[in-house]
Amino acid sequence: MLASFLATLVVAGGAAADFEARDFEFAPAEVRVAPGATVRWTNTGQTVHSVTAFDGLFQSEAQPGGSATFSVPADGVHPFVCAYHDWMKGNLTVDPALSRSSPAPAHRTAAPEAGLFLATAAVALARHRRRAPRSSVTAV
């Protein structure tokens, strides 16, 4: 589940982009596509979810096990949210540079923030372990 926060789906050329809405996250939350691409998302969660752009350029919803498809809007970054769970957020980036690339399979890349996030998590875990009381168990 951590990997979904750290990955970006990049789709070049005319390939379609697929991502998921899980309970309760988008996986991945960052999607980069070429203009004119088709985006399909699948609700693999246990409750209804939506993909709703803050700028109003796209909106769809799906019941558990369902999916929705839309064509990408104008170039730029389009933040989106699940209308039912406002902490579920993501970004759809429409990048014209990707349309000049030859069609290639979708791939995921680590987000630049991944290293900082993992370092912060490691420090927090180390602090927690130092503070956690040690217990001993005696066999009877």
- The predicted structure's pLDDT at residue 10: 66
Task: Answer whether residue 111 shows pLDDT above 60.
Answer: no
Please tell me the least confidently modeled range out of 31-40, 77-86, 99-108, 119-128: 119-128
Mean pLDDT of the chain: 74
Of 18, 35, 24, residue with least CA distance to 108: 18
Annotated domain spans of the chain: 2-131
Residues in CB range of 114: below 8 A, 6 or more apart: 6
Strand partners, 59: 52
- The Cα 49–Cα 89 span in angstroms is 11
Spatial separation of the C-alpha atoms in residues 133 and 60, rounded to whole Å: 48
pLDDT of residue 2 exceeding 80: no
Residue range 2-131 forms a domain whose CATH class is: mainly beta
User: Residue 57 above 60 pLDDT?
Assistant: yes
Q: What is the spatial distance between Cα 103 and Cα 11, in angstroms, rounded to a whole number?
A: 8
